[in-house]
Structure 1
Amino acid sequence: MDERTINMDEIPELSAGWREFARDFVPGMNRPEHCHREAQLLYAQKGVMLVRTPDCVRLIAPFQALWIPAGVRHSISFLADTEMRSLYFSDDALRRLKHLNDRVRVLAATPLIRELFSALFSKDVPPATALLMTNLMLRLVSDAEELGAALPMADDDVFGALQSEILSRRLWNMSMEEASARLSLSPKTFSRRFNKALGMTWRDWMARARLCASLDLLLSGRTLKDAAFGAGYADQATFTAAFRKLFGTTPGAMQKSARRA
């Protein structure tokens, strides 16, 4: 087996309508395209994941969870040291919540959702209690705020590959001229095609990418100063202002919220 992929047969069988799977990953590892017979609630307790589905590419950070309906093919790339946690739910477990299976959803991982993930994977919860907790989790998922994509990603081998490289190698100083040269395009053509594919300019996307990449530093316990510098900001104040504008909260507040999980 390729050391950078995971054997899908290793996941434990369904029990009482749900099952769990936990695995830690390092940058560069991936789970190749696959699907599950049950719906999946995917969460990164730490780290950042890039999840590709037929309709979209999504960057998932610890303040988010991803709901993937049964049968939807997807692959996962890990851009940082990541503690991945998944819950799987059978059709029977979802008999009263079948509307959840209409599409892939990016959801806000509230403090209670994060607490439940932490407790369910602690292995100290009696089975009957765990079943009650998973029922509560489903109710919270059903009511959770659905989030838009914080960072649009192109689902192709041109812009998508370039974006993944920028994120994994933190190439924050790459100019549009350098990026267009890599793709053998003129800056004007690159700009037009990029805007059409991503719905935003190269400059705006790079600014968002830097902020999204800072999430891993923040949520792994690094200082605000380290997160700011790691995202390519010269000072903490500018970083905080940009972070609040995109995520609606300050880096410090998000870090404190994550510590309660």
Structure 2
Amino acid sequence: MDSTTAEDPSLTWDIDSIARQVTALNASQVAKDWEHALHHHRKAQLIYSVRGILNCEVDRGVWIVPPQCAIWIPGDMPHSTRGSGETECYCLFVEPDAIEGLPTQCCTLSVSPLLRELLLKATGFEQLYAENGPEARLIAVLLDELRDAPIEHLHLPMPQNQRLRQLAQMLLADPSSKTSMAEWAKCIGMSERSMSRLLMQEVGMSFGRWRRQLHIILSLRRLTNGESVQAVALDLGYESASGFVTMFRKAMGKPPARYLLERAATAGSAGDATPGSGIVLAP
């Protein structure tokens, strides 16, 4: 896959040395898929996707970030990130003690219109903005909104057990497989009961729910790229589009068409508010 390196300030700047509670940056505007290898920094990081799908991997899971959502990565957590298709994203770097109540685990956050506008405004600040000036007051409101941002359940937890990791890789390689749980267990040298118990211990989900979560993540990536519900449903092994839509609605609270329409509407208003973008962007 061709890739274009995005300008991630966390990789080229000494983010941890900037003596402010919050630093907001226009992280990247790239035309093709890109990927950043495993890295970490002391400050926590919020990566907000204006358009395009972002994927973030940490040791215990994979997160997908659709347009108008953000990934929260606590400080000192090794992570890799990847953008699919044309992307535009913004980064917020936050001192761990900036405000109480911020998430302590990696998670996907829903970004409200107010939080989005505060983030976009903050990207125009000087690095060393006045700590007692209007910029600092806006940052305080931004932190309040960040603390209250609802969590989106777009997470595929990854087990630590090597045989379960092998199972995860096989499911990722063939997500449409109708192989039964008993057959999967046999493939990785476990009993069905042991695999079920260990999965619940390590990822907190049953095998069926874990596989459905994988389907949500894979389908969002493809649907946002313009593929049809019918094509995605069949490729993921569903007998019909209606079966896939039912699964998606149960998981996300709304059918895929409405979910994507609402995201697209929010993305359009965000595009109007994005300062100096000048780029038509298409996860």
TM-score by length of 2: 0.67
Q: How many residues align?
A: 247
Question: What letter corresponds to residue 22 of structure 1 in structure 2?
Answer: S
Task: Kindly state the Cα deviation for residue 15 of structure 1 after the two structures are TM-superposed.
Answer: 8.9
Matched, 1:172 2:173: no
Q: Which residue of structure 2 aligns with residue 31 of structure 1?
A: 37
Alignment partner of 2:256 out of 251, 254, 257: 251
Alignment partner of 1:49 out of 50, 55, 58: 55
Q: Which residue of structure 2 aligns with residue 104 of structure 1?
A: 105
Unaligned runs of 5+ in 2: 127-134, 268-283
Q: Which residue of structure 2 aligns with residue 89 of structure 1?
A: 93
How is 1:91-240 mapped onto 2 (pairs within 5 angstroms)? 91=95, 95=98, 97-100=99-102, 103-110=104-111, 112=113, 116=117, 127=125, 137-148=142-153, 150-167=155-172, 169-173=173-177, 175=179, 176-240=181-245
Task: Kindly state the Cα deviation for residue 67 of structure 1 after the two structures are TM-superposed.
Answer: 1.9
Matched, 1:76 2:96: no
Question: What letter corresponds to residue 222 of structure 1 in structure 2?
Answer: E
Mark the structure with the bigger radius of gyration: 2
Alignment partner of 2:64 out of 38, 60, 63: 60
Question: What letter corresponds to residue 204 of structure 2 in structure 1?
Answer: G
Task: Kindly state the Cα deviation for residue 127 of structure 1 after the two structures are TM-superposed.
Answer: 4.4
Secondary structure, counterpart of 1:47 in structure 2: strand
Distance 1:188 1:239, change over 3 A: same
Secondary structure, counterpart of 1:158 in structure 2: helix
Could you tell me how far apart the structure 2 residues matched to 1:154 and 1:91 are?
Answer: 29
TM-score by length of 1: 0.71
Distance 1:39 1:197, change over 3 A: closer
Q: Deviations over 1:77-98 (max 9, x none)?
A: 6495584735233439x74x24
Question: What letter corresponds to residue 99 of structure 1 in structure 2?
Answer: G
Q: Contact 2:63–2:71 (CA<8 Å) still a contact in 1?
A: no
Q: Contact 1:38–1:69 (CA<8 Å) still a contact in 2?
A: yes
Q: Contact 1:38–1:91 (CA<8 Å) still a contact in 2?
A: yes
Q: Deviations over 1:53-75 (max 9, x none)?
A: 5xx424223164222233x2222
